[in-house]
């Protein structure tokens, strides 16, 4: 029956696969070795290559084909990418994603660095570190729900209000109006970015704090003896010493930002154009219907995100090579 036989089938398939690989490895290992190292190495790598092909290469190729065709399967060139460029909704998501990448990684890295320096060697450092690191452990969905409640609009006449988020409460104390989240653009995009920074700053703090501790004490002491003040010592000694870590943190946060989905999915409610590429990608697939190329638009959006991530990855790889 259904699930049972499927599970059985899957187990058999895995068993057969392992058996074949086992026999193959046995044969290769038994074969004469001299002069055939390359072939042997290739054969040993083959299982991994096959897995990679199934798990990575095939989906990438399929997604690429999907992104270049319509839902009837006909090749339409760059039509789906043109759709991203020409549709207000998709254009808006692209613009917003660029705003996200311009703001979130820098803000998270700078805040993380500032905080790490501020609490460095302070009393109760582990406590202060834990405090800012906690949000990193909260799922994006959880964080989204928490912040949606923080931003909640007042509901009801003054007197018997049914709900009012903390942020609006504080704003009303200083005489400012409600945020109008999530309908007012462009503030909604920035208010959601705040959540991403809230999550990522803790990550940046912990990593950068460890890097700062790794800077040899002799260096900072030497700088002090040479008459450098705290800022000069930070700017000229600490920052250059932790530059590789700074870059890594920035790149990791940037890539996470480009792919951001959960926070936006939870907080953005189809309102006021705060969409981003990854959320639109899911939406296009989920609401696709025959004739509207939804899955194809979705594939094109996936590739667009991939292309946007590439320079960051390339930069990171170059940095890694330089260090090695």
Nearest approach, Cβ of residue 23 and other proteins (Å):
7
Assess contact for 242 and 211: CB atoms under 8 A.
yes
Residues that bind other proteins (CB under 8 A): 1-5, 7-8, 11-12, 14-15, 18-19, 21-23, 25-26, 29-30, 88-89, 153-157, 160, 162, 180-183, 265, 269-273, 282-294
For other proteins, give the closer residue by CB, 34 or 160. 160
Of residues 25 and 171, the one with the C-beta less far from other proteins: 25
Taking the complex as a whole, the smallest distance from the CB of residue 30 to other proteins amounts, in Å, to 6
- How many Cα atoms occupy the beta-carbon half-sphere of 180 within 13 Å? 9
Rounded to the nearest 5°, which phi and psi values hold at 246? Answer: -55, -45
Residue 22: Cβ within 10 Å count: 10
Given a contact cutoff of 8 angstroms between Cβ atoms, the answer to whether 129 and 215 are in contact is no
Closest distance to other proteins from the beta carbon of 8 (Å): 6
Which C-beta is closer to other proteins: that of 24 or that of 309? Answer: 24
CB of 317 to other proteins, least distance (A): 31
Give CA separation, 321 vs 73, 109, 200, 314, 318, in Å. 42, 22, 26, 11, 5
Phi, psi of 75 (to 5 degrees): -70, 125
CB 296 within 8 A of CB 81: no
* Closest distance of CB 44 from other proteins, Å: 10
Q: Which is nearer to other proteins, 37 or 88 (CB)?
A: 88
Query: Would you state the structure tokens that stand for residue 179, as one six-digit string?
Result: 């945020």
Query: What do you get for the CA distance between the two ends of the chain, in Å?
Result: 55
Min CB(259)–other proteins separation in Å: 18
| Helix H or strand E segment including 264 | helix 262-267
Q: Which is nearer to other proteins, 22 or 124 (CB)?
A: 22
For other proteins, the closer of residues 79 and 114 by Cβ is: 79
Residue 237 CB contacts under 8 Å (≥ 6 apart), including other chains: 215, 219, 220, 223, 228
């Amino acid at each position: 029956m259904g699930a049972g036989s499927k599970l059985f089938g899957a187990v058999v398939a895995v068993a057969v696969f392992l058996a074949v690989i086992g026999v193959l490895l046995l044969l290769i290992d038994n074969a004469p070795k001299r002069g055939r190292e390359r072939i042997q190495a290739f054969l040993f790598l083959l299982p991994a290559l096959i897995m990679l092909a199934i798990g990575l290469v095939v989906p990438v190729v399929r997604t690429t084909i999907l992104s270049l065709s319509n839902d009837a399967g006909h090749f339409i060139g760059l039509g789906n990418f043109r759709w991203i460029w020409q549709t207000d909704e998709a254009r808006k998501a692209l613009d917003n994603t660029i705003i996200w990448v311009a703001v979130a990684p820098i803000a998270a890295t700078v805040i993380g660095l500032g905080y790490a320096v501020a609490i460095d060697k302070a009393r109760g450092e582990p406590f202060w570190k834990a405090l800012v690191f906690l949000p990193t452990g909260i799922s994006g969905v959880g964080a989204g729900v928490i912040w949606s409640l923080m931003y909640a609009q007042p509901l009801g006449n003054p007197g018997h209000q049914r709900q009012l988020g903390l942020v609006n409460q504080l704003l009303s104390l200083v005489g400012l109006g409600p945020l109008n989240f999530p309908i007012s653009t462009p503030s909604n995009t920035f208010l959601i970015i705040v959540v991403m920074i809230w999550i990522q700053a803790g990550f940046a703090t912990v990593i950068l704090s460890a890097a700062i501790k790794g800077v040899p004490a002799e260096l900072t002491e030497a700088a002090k003896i040479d008459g450098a003040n705290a800022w000069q010592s930070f700017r000229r000694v600490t920052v250059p010493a932790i530059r590789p870590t700074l870059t890594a943190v920035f790149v990791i946060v940037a890539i996470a930002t480009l792919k951001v989905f959960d926070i936006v999915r939870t907080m953005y409610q189809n309102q006021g154009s705060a969409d981003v590429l990854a959320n639109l990608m899911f939406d296009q697939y989920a609401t696709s219907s025959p004739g509207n190329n939804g899955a194809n638009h979705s594939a094109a959006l996936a590739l667009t995100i991939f292309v946007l991530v590439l320079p960051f990855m390339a930069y990171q790889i170059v940095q890694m090579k330089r260090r090695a």
